[in-house]
């Protein structure tokens, strides 16, 4: 993942999806837009379901030369030949993941709104930091990753940063100058078949 003038799009799968239908929806979005990376973020811990989903999405992403990472499951990332793993426990598992997956794997770390965790994860060897949610949501603990956090990070730290959770056109417009990636998920998938158009609106808001 490289830093560019305009933030890149990092797509996050829905926490639940139909394997007969979602890969085609994903393919349509990848064909319409320049996507840096896709994260398989199923909520299930069912290994068989995760493996089948990873196989299906890998066919779609790798055919388009897009990286695919999986939430949390370091061993599955290795076994299924994925490009890396997205960790949700700040800096705690970064060294373990790097040791298991090697130097070339993509390892990301979600650090909520903690500057300290972000810096620690970077020192431990991850490739990007993810902060969020960027707007208030009933699903989180009420803490928001605000503009000042991204502004400080972009000025002080070279490691790429992802803004995710509760994105809308207004917040995308505001954060575009101070983030490297937007982690876009439910914001577009809940639009039914309109995911491509919904992403277009967010991308337009960047410029």
Classify residue 2: in a domain, yes or no: no
**pLDDT recorded at residue 1:** 37
Average pLDDT, the chain: 95
**Domains: count for the chain:** 1
The answer to whether position 3 is within a domain reads: no
Task: Tell me, yes or no, whether 137 lies in a domain.
Answer: yes
User: Residue 61: its pLDDT value, please?
Assistant: 98
Q: What is the CATH number of the domain that holds 113?
A: 3.20.20.70
Range of the domain at 76: 8-206
Q: How far apart are CA 207 and CA 162, in angstroms?
A: 17
Residue 127 lies in a domain: yes
How much is the pLDDT for 141?
Answer: 67
Within a domain: residue 1? no
* Three-state secondary structure of 147-184: HHHHHHHHHHCCCCEEEECCCCHHHHHHHHHHCCEEEE
Residue 99 lies in a domain: yes
The answer to whether residues 207 and 35 touch, using CB atoms and an 8 Å cutoff, is no
Query: What's the pLDDT band for 179 if we cut at 50, 70, 90?
Result: very high
Which of the four pLDDT bands, split at 50, 70 and 90, describes residue 140?
A: low
Closest to 126 (Cα-Cα) out of 106, 153, 155: 106
Sign of the torsion formed by the C-alpha atoms of 48, 37, 39 and 195: negative
Residue 69 and residue 88 in contact, taking contact as beta carbons nearer than 8 Å: no
| Predicted local confidence at residue 53, as pLDDT | 98
Question: Is residue 139, in this structure, part of any structural domain at all?
Answer: yes
pLDDT of residue 191: 80
Let me know if residue 25 belongs to a domain: yes
Mean pLDDT computed over 43-72? 97
């Amino acid at each position: 993942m490289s830093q560019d003038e305009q933030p890149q799009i990092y797509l996050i799968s829905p926490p639940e999806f139909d394997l007969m239908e979602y890969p085609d929806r994903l393919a349509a979005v990848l064909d319409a837009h320049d996507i840096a990376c896709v994260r398989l973020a199923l909520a299930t811990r069912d290994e068989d379901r995760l493996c089948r989903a990873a196989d299906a999405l890998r066919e779609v992403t790798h055919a388009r030369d897009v990286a695919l990472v999986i939430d949390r499951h370091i061993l599955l990332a290795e076994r299924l030949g994925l490009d890396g793993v997205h960790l949700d426990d700040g800096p705690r598992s970064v060294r373990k993941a790097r040791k298991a997956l090697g130097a070339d794997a993509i390892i990301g770390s979600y650090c909520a709104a903690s500057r300290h965790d972000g810096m620690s994860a970077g020192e431990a060897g991850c490739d990007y930091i993810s902060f969020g949610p960027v707007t208030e949501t009933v699903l989180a603990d009420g803490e928001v990753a605000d503009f000042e956090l991204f502004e400080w990070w972009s000025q002080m730290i070279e490691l790429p940063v992802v803004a995710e959770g509760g994105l809308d056109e207004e917040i995308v417009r505001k954060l575009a100058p101070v983030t490297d990636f937007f982690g876009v998920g439910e914001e577009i998938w809940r639009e039914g078949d309109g995911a491509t158009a919904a992403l277009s609106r967010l991308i337009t808001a960047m410029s």
